Structure formats: C-alpha cells, structure tokens
C-alpha cells in the first residue's frame, strides 16, 4: 500500500507592490532516516523512516518561531520516540516524550507558543 504523505499546500501572499496576488506554497518534507535531532530550519514536515525505533530530539522553539506549526509523521511501522527539550507546554520531564505506535502514519502536530511546543493534534501517539 502506498501512502501519500505530500504536505498540503498553504496560501502565501506574493508581491509587495500593492497587488493582492496569492500563490500556493508547499513546505518540503524532510526525511529522517536515523536517530538524531529535528532541525526546524529545514521545514515544517518531517517523516521518520528508520527501520527500527528512532530516538529523535526536538529543541524548544525560539520566540521568533511563535505560531509556527510542525508535523512529524512515521513513514515506517516503528515505535519512534521524540524527546522535547523543555517538555510539552514547558512541562519539563513530566511530559517530554512523544511515542508513536508502531504504525505507518502515526503522527503529531506541534505549535510553538512562547518558547514551548504544544500538541494541537496527534494520531497513534502517546505523551508521557
């Protein structure tokens, strides 16, 4: 079964000459094939494809990232873990690990708010 994980297109205002031109832009998907850190400078969509459970880290967002959303999705049927540096919502070690069920398409959507990541949606993911 092929799974289409193409990110949705989002409207982006183009041109600063007073015209109201709108274009659709698609954020590239970054494929992560092993353990390591998510680098949000590479985009907003991340696909984990390691053949065993990946151990991923995610640094707290900077204030400049306020309002930004990222999506992390499993492209392999593994129980990937994502450790969020300051915890979800700044909770520290009590809520700092997101664990995907070992299913393709397990995912989490996070939003940066005041220097912390908040979960705004998830599928087959647990937070502890």
Overall residue count recorded for the chain in this entry: 128
- Contact call for residues 25 and 9 (beta carbons, < 8 A): yes
Q: Quick one: average pLDDT of 104-125?
A: 98
Residue 21 covered by a domain: no
- Contact call for residues 31 and 49 (beta carbons, < 8 A): yes
Per-residue model confidence (pLDDT) at position 28: 82
Residue 13 covered by a domain: no
Residue 94 covered by a domain: yes
**How many structural domains does the chain have?**
1
The answer, yes or no, to whether residue 8 has pLDDT greater than 80, is: no
- Contact call for residues 46 and 38 (beta carbons, < 8 A): yes
Residue 49: domain span: 28-127
The answer, yes or no, to whether residue 121 has pLDDT greater than 50, is: yes
Residue 37 covered by a domain: yes
Residue 7 covered by a domain: no
Q: What is the pLDDT of residues 12-65, one digit of tens each?
A: 444 444 444 444 445 689 999 999 999 999 999 999 999 999 999 999 999 999
pTM of model > 0.85: no
The answer, yes or no, to whether residue 104 has pLDDT greater than 70, is: yes
Q: What is the pLDDT of residues 78-93, one digit of tens each?
A: 999 999 999 999 999 8
Per-residue model confidence (pLDDT) at position 5: 52
Check which CATH number belongs to the domain holding 94 and give it. 2.60.120
**At CA 116, angle to CA 115 and CA 121, rounded to 5?**
140
How many CB atoms are closer than 10 A to CB 52? 11
- Distance, CA of 32 to CA of 27 (rounded, Å): 16
Could you tell me which of 78, 90, 87 has the C-alpha nearest to residue 128? 87
């Amino acid at each position: 079964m092929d799974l289409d994980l193409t990110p949705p297109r989002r409207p982006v205002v183009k041109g600063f000459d007073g015209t109201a031109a709108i274009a659709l832009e698609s954020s590239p998907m970054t494929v992560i094939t092993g353990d390591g850190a998510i680098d949000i400078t590479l985009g907003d969509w991340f696909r984990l494809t390691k053949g065993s459970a990946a151990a991923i880290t995610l640094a707290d967002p900077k204030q400049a990232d306020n309002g930004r959303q990222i999506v992390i999705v499993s492209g392999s049927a593994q129980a990937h873990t994502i450790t969020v540096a300051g915890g979800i919502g700044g909770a520290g070690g009590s809520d700092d690990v997101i664990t995907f069920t070992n299913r393709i398409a397990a995912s989490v959507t996070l939003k940066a708010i005041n220097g912390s990541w908040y979960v705004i949606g998830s599928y087959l993911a647990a937070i502890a």
